[in-house]
Structure 1
Amino acid sequence: MSYSTSYTSFANLPIDGLHSPMSSVTSDSESSLSIGKTRLTLLDLYSGCGAMSTGLCLGANFAGTNLQTRWAVDLNSFACESLKLNHPHTEVRNEDAENFLMLLQEWEKLCKRFSLIGTQSYFDDGCMLNDDDEDDLEDSSEVPKGEFEVGKIVGICYGDPAKLSKVGLHFKVRWKGYGPSEDTWEPLDGLRKCQERIKDFVTSGYKRNILPLPGSADVICGGPPCQGISGFNRFRQSDAPLQDPKNKQVVVFMDIVEFLKPKYILMENVVDMLKFARGFLGRYAISRLVSMNYQARMGLMVAGCYGLPQFRMRVFLWGALSTEVLPQFPYPTHDVVIRGGCPNEFESNVVAYDESQRPTLEKALLLGDAIRDLPPITNAEKRDEMPYDQPPITNFQRMIRLTRDELTGSRQVGAKSSKKACLFDHRPLELNDDDYQRVCAIPKRKGANFRDLSGVRVGEDNVVEWDPEISSVYLPSGKPLVPDYCMSFIKGKSPKPFGRLWWDETVPTVVTRAEPHNQVILHPEQDRVLSIRENARLQGFPDYYQLRGPIKERYIQVGNAVAVPVSRALGIALARAVVKDCGSGALFELPPGFQQHELTSLNNLDAIEAVAETK
């Protein structure tokens, strides 16, 4: 391989004077839209609610590659519910990645045992069985009372699902004469007399492609959590990061890659991955890929550079087999100034134009561009669905309102939609009475926060102090209007507690918690925190994307997600690599219309529908 310090790139070398797969067959400015679509399967590890895979598929589809999220794995049950709701054809598994890896290994053994490897699956033919098809096959004959007979196997996992301290391979049993509510998880050694039932399940599961086998997942993406590197962790093991159990998921991620051997991988993580212990975990991830004969390339991308009103810098690591083209990183499309955020040693990994280039970029998006068209709501809003009360104002708002069919191109021009557009999850975390009254007291102007409340003044060195000339103000509950934690936060120097955002600002990053005690998350003109939907818009989620779970859990899903426009741009990079439409450098310019192509088709559709209605 060749190695370049620019974007820490390990790539194929030219062979016998010929160009390597990295050589361009077309110019960087050309897109691959005219090339017939190639179909690829995707496994989304640590998937959350599916933002990373959603963006990758949207981008790849736009660039001529049919990328399908076939499998997804996450430990958060609510995130799995959200993903399944928005991607009903995806096999979503609610389990930890280590058990998933063990399951994959056991699944391969079962498929070999029943001589299935090498035979054709239904998925290969483009059709899939679903749970309803299996239910049609259920034996409904009665069983004498008190007797239990295995009707069929309906699920498989590795672990201890029955909480009986028996870790191993388990099957979910549908008992003959009983319904799904009586299903139980049974260990393999307890089903020795049910080999035919097991064979039937494995054969059906193989045909339906319920689990990936080595070589069957073309792409693996994911963001393995590394809580051990968090600055909030006082017990970080900087001398031996991989000995900390909180950092082991990056090892598990690479172990799954090693077992499944996909053509491409894309890993995402926080910038602390390169800050903590001189970037040990980032270096480890690259070294694992290279040791497995993968090409690798690492970049730091800023979400605001791709059309969002938040900064949010993250690390992305591409991997590609030596037989494939290593994907590039997309140049920014929006004029966002990138200052700091990454260690000096990795400054050359920031995805940006260099100082000698003078690109024409779109203006940076602001908060008002993204959320000002949303209906007003109160702190006590309870509706999960509501209609829009005004048309979109900005191009971003028009694009974010597109339906799934319009985004994927499956809605035909001239075909009028039978559904009215609906807004989901536009409700805030309801504050308690004390915090709500504090929020109501914050002025509705730019820069307002707890420092504007009665009894607070700013002394020397920007440190807050109590104003001795003003009596303390108390709430009806008897608690102070200004809590002590506001005065002491970051030694009294922080203006963040109960801070109000403003329309002409950008957000540093969307957070997972919606409490205003130490964050600037208040709506500019309404007495509440930003709603789930407003946070989702700051992350680029289409308005059609629905979330499941308690309110706090939905905030967590959105805050942990990869910004959708970023993953969508990376989806285009992947599609270009698949069809070998790449230049020799590490970066490429996104095709014309990356941001506006949906709007163009939608405008045409609106015009056609308007003409049809007049007739």
Structure 2
Amino acid sequence: MDIVQFLKPKYVLMENVCDLLKFAKGTLARYALSRLVYMNYQARLGMMAAGCYGLPQFRLRVFLWGCHPFEKLPQFPLPTHEVILKGYAPIEFERSIVGYDEGQPRALERAVVLEDIFSDLPAVTNQEDREQMKYEKDPQNEFQRYIRAPKSEMLGSTAMSANNVKTSLLYDHRPQRLSDDDYLRVCQIPKRKGANLRDLPGLVVDVNNKIQFDPTMDRVLLPSGRPLVPDWALNLWEGKTSKPFSRLWWDEIVPTVLTVPDSHSQTILHPEQDRVLTIREAARAQGFPDHYHFYGTVKQRYRQIGNAVAVSVSKALGYSLGLALLNQSGDGPLMTLPPKFSHSYKLHDPNNSSSSGVQE
């Protein structure tokens, strides 16, 4: 807010995790809003879930718009897709969730799940270290055709450079390697929906849903001499968690793409391959087109992706800002996006009802 006060930009857009609203009953968010109003800015706060805009992750985040008093305050774009719930909003700001009211007419596309975004990707192992490889399969659906489109098509450029031509090469499809012990643990996790640490031999679940060692069995050891079921796993959340070494499944979503793919505390294992999600799989879950190449170490690339605002959410907010800049947005807090917005790089021209689309 000090930076806003110094620069006095025409428009302000801020993003943060929803803990900003949970901490001290939303004191930080209320302070941010009051500072904007004190500086004579219009202000509008809302929470948007990435899954509502065509991605297979819930990822609820809070956004704060601000603008000068004589400008159009950008609206929040309404969801385009159904969403699978994997989280909750702070009760104090529940009315700030960007969505349709109960009973309000809507025409949403079905929720995007992991199978929609992963089914064309080649199988790789925990030891994969190639920076590029062939796709092997053609796009299987609308999302994959969109995400694999060359950069020139997405940007509406007629000039084709060596970096823009359509290619069969896939980049960044490699995982952060599991340790030797963790890899052996993961190999014993069944390849089925809901499988996790609790499926390893030598464990039982008591009446309180707490995992314990099976008293009728000797403790299973790995070749390293360490136990198959580590002690920390039984102590995590008092033994009631099911997240360690848990598999995602094809009809599910990721709660949130984080900066570190930690198999000890996240549901992050591939449904049918013994590894965590690759850099490219995490990037797709965030909506990054395949023409994005990430740089740095494997860990740094995961961090870049996990720290980003989901691309389809950024795109929707950018469209809203564009309408406000052109003085074409409404006065209410919400707006409706054009049809097929999330997985298209051609947008409807709001000035021409007969237009088939304009380049983004």
1:257 and 2:4 are equivalent in the alignment: yes
Q: Quote the residue 2:22 is aligned against.
A: 275
1:574 and 2:312 are equivalent in the alignment: no
Q: Quote the residue 1:542 is aligned against.
A: 289
Q: Quote the residue 1:356 is aligned against.
A: 103
Q: Quote the residue 1:473 is aligned against.
A: 220
Helix, strand or coil at the partner of 1:465: strand
- The equivalent position to 1:555 in structure 2, one of 302, 305, 311, is 302
1:484 and 2:231 are equivalent in the alignment: yes
1:295 and 2:73 are equivalent in the alignment: no
Structure 1 residues 109-508: aligned runs within 5 Å: 254-336=1-83, 341-411=88-158, 418-508=165-255
Q: Quote the residue 2:264 is aligned against.
A: 517
Q: Within 2, Cα distance between the matches of 1:355 and 1:432?
A: 47
Give the structure-2-normalised TM-score: 0.92
Helix, strand or coil at the partner of 1:461: coil
The AA in structure 2 aligned to 1:367 is L
Q: Within 2, Cα distance between the matches of 1:386 and 1:599?
A: 29
Helix, strand or coil at the partner of 1:479: coil
The AA in structure 2 aligned to 1:588 is M
Instruction: Please state how far the C-alpha of 1:296 moved relative to its aligned partner.
Output: 0.5
Post-superposition Cα deviations, 1:174-227, rounded to whole Å, max 9, x if no partner, equal xxxxxxxxxxxxxxxxxxxxxxxxxxxxxxxxxxxxxxxxxxxxxxxxxxxxxx
The AA in structure 2 aligned to 1:475 is L
Q: Within 2, Cα distance between the matches of 1:512 and 1:339?
A: 18
Structure 1 residues 80-91: aligned runs within 5 Å: none
1:593 and 2:314 are equivalent in the alignment: no
Q: Within 2, Cα distance between the matches of 1:319 and 1:600?
A: 25
Instruction: Please state how far the C-alpha of 1:598 moved relative to its aligned partner.
Output: 3.2
**Number of residue equivalences:** 345
Q: Within 2, Cα distance between the matches of 1:542 and 1:301?
A: 21
Post-superposition Cα deviations, 1:465-491, rounded to whole Å, max 9, x if no partner, equal 111122221111111111111111100
Q: Within 1, Cα distance between the matches of 2:86 and 2:291?
A: 34
Helix, strand or coil at the partner of 2:6: helix
Q: Quote the residue 1:228 is aligned against.
A: none
Q: Quote the residue 2:356 is aligned against.
A: none
Q: Within 2, Cα distance between the matches of 1:534 and 1:350?
A: 27
Give the structure-1-normalised TM-score: 0.54
Q: Within 2, Cα distance between the matches of 1:313 and 1:396?
A: 21
Q: Return 5+ residue gaps in structure 1 as ranges.
A: 1-253, 602-615
Q: Within 1, Cα distance between the matches of 2:103 and 2:179?
A: 53
The structure number with the bigger radius of gyration is 1
The AA in structure 2 aligned to 1:422 is L
Q: Within 2, Cα distance between the matches of 1:534 and 1:340?
A: 21
Q: Within 2, Cα distance between the matches of 1:315 and 1:501?
A: 26
Which one has the bigger helix percentage?
1
**Alpha-carbon contact 1:398-1:599 (below 8 Å) kept:** no
**Alpha-carbon contact 2:171-2:280 (below 8 Å) kept:** yes
Q: Return closer, same or farther for 1:327/1:596 CA change in 2, 3 Å cut-off.
A: same
Q: Within 1, Cα distance between the matches of 2:55 and 2:166?
A: 28
**Alpha-carbon contact 1:486-1:518 (below 8 Å) kept:** no
The AA in structure 1 aligned to 2:118 is I
Instruction: Please state how far the C-alpha of 1:411 moved relative to its aligned partner.
Output: 3.5
The AA in structure 1 aligned to 2:268 is I
Instruction: Please state how far the C-alpha of 1:539 moved relative to its aligned partner.
Output: 0.6
Q: Return 5+ residue gaps in structure 2 as ranges.
A: 349-360
Q: Within 1, Cα distance between the matches of 2:254 and 2:324?
A: 33
Helix, strand or coil at the partner of 1:423: strand
**Alpha-carbon contact 1:448-1:500 (below 8 Å) kept:** yes
Q: Within 2, Cα distance between the matches of 1:286 and 1:452?
A: 48
Post-superposition Cα deviations, 1:355-402, rounded to whole Å, max 9, x if no partner, equal 131201000111111112111111111111222110111211111111
**Alpha-carbon contact 2:220-2:227 (below 8 Å) kept:** yes
Sequence identity, in percent? 58
Q: Within 2, Cα distance between the matches of 1:511 and 1:418?
A: 31
Q: Within 2, Cα distance between the matches of 1:532 and 1:261?
A: 38
